[in-house]
Amino acid sequence: MLPKAMQDAMNEQIKNELYSAYLYLSMAAHYESKNLSGFANWLRVQAQEELGHAMRFYNFILERGGTVTLKAIDQPPSSWDSNLEAFQQVLAHEQKVTKNIHDLYALAVQEKDYPSQVMLQWFVDEQVEEEKSATEIIEKLKLIGDHGGALLMLDHELGQRKPEEEEEEE
């Protein structure tokens, strides 16, 4: 049985993961409107991953005999002044998610909820990857700025990202 404190915290994390998907979809729409389809693709894939993360929590709660309670999701911003600003927001958001995951893990330790600790370890590892990916894009954007051929090359590179399921099939 899932402890009530864990159930409540995981329901909150479902909301957080769904907000992440909303944020990245909003960013993708922003980039589509700027004809930077590679940036948009990267962010759409990111949004799909966040939906998958929400479903991991959703399924875990149910598997442990808990109750899923969906909460309202805030509206994300819809425009950014620069590509660097947008991806700095991606990184800041991922750092916030990392803190949320660490807080969940600490709660699982406090509750002596070993199954949750095992499940959350996947998220701890995932967040290292998420922050690294956003940081790499930020560092490239600092080098190339918001215009020119290098931006188009980065757009092309980001357009190559595929959803995880497609990567596993290849």
Pairwise CA distance, residues 67 & 88, whole Å: 35
Cβ atoms of residues 128 and 135 within 8 Å? no
7 falls in which pLDDT band (50, 70, 90)?
Answer: very high
pLDDT in tens, 23-62: 999 999 999 999 999 999 999 999 999 999 999 999 999 9
Choices 3.40.50.300, 2.40.10.10, 3.10.20.30, 1.20.1260.10: CATH for 4-165:
1.20.1260.10
pLDDT at res. 118: 98
SS in 3 state form for 92-156?
A: HHHHHHHHHHHHHHHHHHHCCCHHHHHHHHHHHHHHHHHHHHHHHHHHHHHHHCCCCHHHHHHHH
Task: Report CA torsion sign: 31, 96, 65, 164.
Answer: positive
Place of tokens 């005999």: 65
Domain-wise residue ranges, the chain: 4-165
Cβ atoms of residues 16 and 100 within 8 Å? yes
Total number of residues shown for the chain: 170
pLDDT at res. 167: 52
Pairwise CA distance, residues 123 & 16, whole Å: 13
Say which DSSP state 76 is in.
Answer: P
Supply φ then ψ for residue 162, to 5 degrees.
-120, 155
pLDDT in tens, 61-114: 999 999 999 999 999 999 999 999 999 999 999 999 999 999 999 999 999 999
